[in-house]
């Protein structure tokens, strides 16, 4: 059993991760700025922010792995990269593995091709948060001894398209995964399955990967 702390544990990706972790008998702690009305039975919920040093210290002290699923939008825009950088330095000192859920925007559309957020089809309003999370990935790659992984979801991932759990997924590297019809998608449940699989059996050490159908 792993002790898993999840910053942003009440959001779409974070909530799915908490539910999957509990389902697989891990000890899951959701950390969010506001506490939810609906909770996963068996999970622990605490109020706190990625930007608060005290909250980060408390989560690190109680976790084997900490995963950040906070998006840099709204009043968090421009702050998430710095929060991840601070957490990364603290996690390295504490000997805690760090996972980060980024966006699809920093994936290449094809081998040797442009980044998704640099294409004409990418929505302009989402580009700033994609650029910020790409910067967070660069920061992780520049760390020394930190044990980290970074996961980019497919382009069509979110609460607007929850889908159904298939119980399987494909794994890629820095290139966007698409299906035979050109779609790029995974359900929240199967994305969380991939995250917990990585926590249980670390495969991507100091690396970014992506998953999809």
The Cα 42–Cα 29 span in angstroms is: 9
Could you identify the residue written with the tokens 């959001």? Answer: 11
Domains of the chain: 3-212 (3.40.50.720)
pTM value is 0.97
61-72 confidence digits (pLDDT tens): 999 999 999 999
Q: What value does the mean pLDDT of the chain take?
A: 97
In the chain, which residues have pLDDT < 70?
none
The pLDDT, as a whole number, for residue 161 is 86
120-154 confidence digits (pLDDT tens): 999 999 999 999 999 999 999 999 999 999 999 99
Could you identify the residue written with the tokens 């948060």? Answer: 129
The helix (run of H) or strand (run of E) holding residue 212 is strand 207-212
The Cα 186–Cα 212 span in angstroms is: 5
Contact between 27 and 65 under an 8 Å Cβ cutoff? The reply is no
């Amino acid at each position: 059993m792993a002790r898993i702390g999840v910053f942003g544990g009440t959001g779409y990706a974070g909530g799915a991760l908490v539910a999957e972790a509990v389902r697989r008998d891990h000890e899951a702690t959701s950390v969010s700025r506001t506490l939810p009305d609906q909770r996963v039975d068996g999970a622990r919920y605490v109020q706190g922010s990625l930007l608060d040093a005290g909250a980060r210290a408390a989560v690190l002290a109680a976790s084997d792995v900490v995963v950040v699923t906070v998006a840099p939008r709204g009043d968090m825009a421009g702050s998430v990269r710095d929060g991840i950088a601070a957490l990364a330095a603290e996690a390295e000192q504490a000997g805690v593995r760090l996972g980060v859920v980024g966006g699809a925007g920093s994936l290449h559309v094809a081998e040797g091709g442009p980044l998704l957020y640099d294409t004409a089809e990418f929505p302009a309003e989402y580009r700033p948060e994609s650029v910020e999370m790409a910067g967070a990935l660069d920061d992780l790659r520049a760390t020394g001894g930190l044990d980290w992984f970074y996961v980019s979801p497919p382009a069509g991932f979110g609460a607007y398209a929850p889908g159904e759990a298939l119980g399987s997924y494909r794994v890629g590297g820095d290139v966007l995964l698409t299906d035979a019809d050109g779609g790029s998608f995974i359900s929240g449940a199967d994305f969380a399955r991939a995250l917990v699989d990585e926590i249980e059996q670390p495969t991507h050490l100091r690396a970014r990967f992506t998953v999809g159908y």
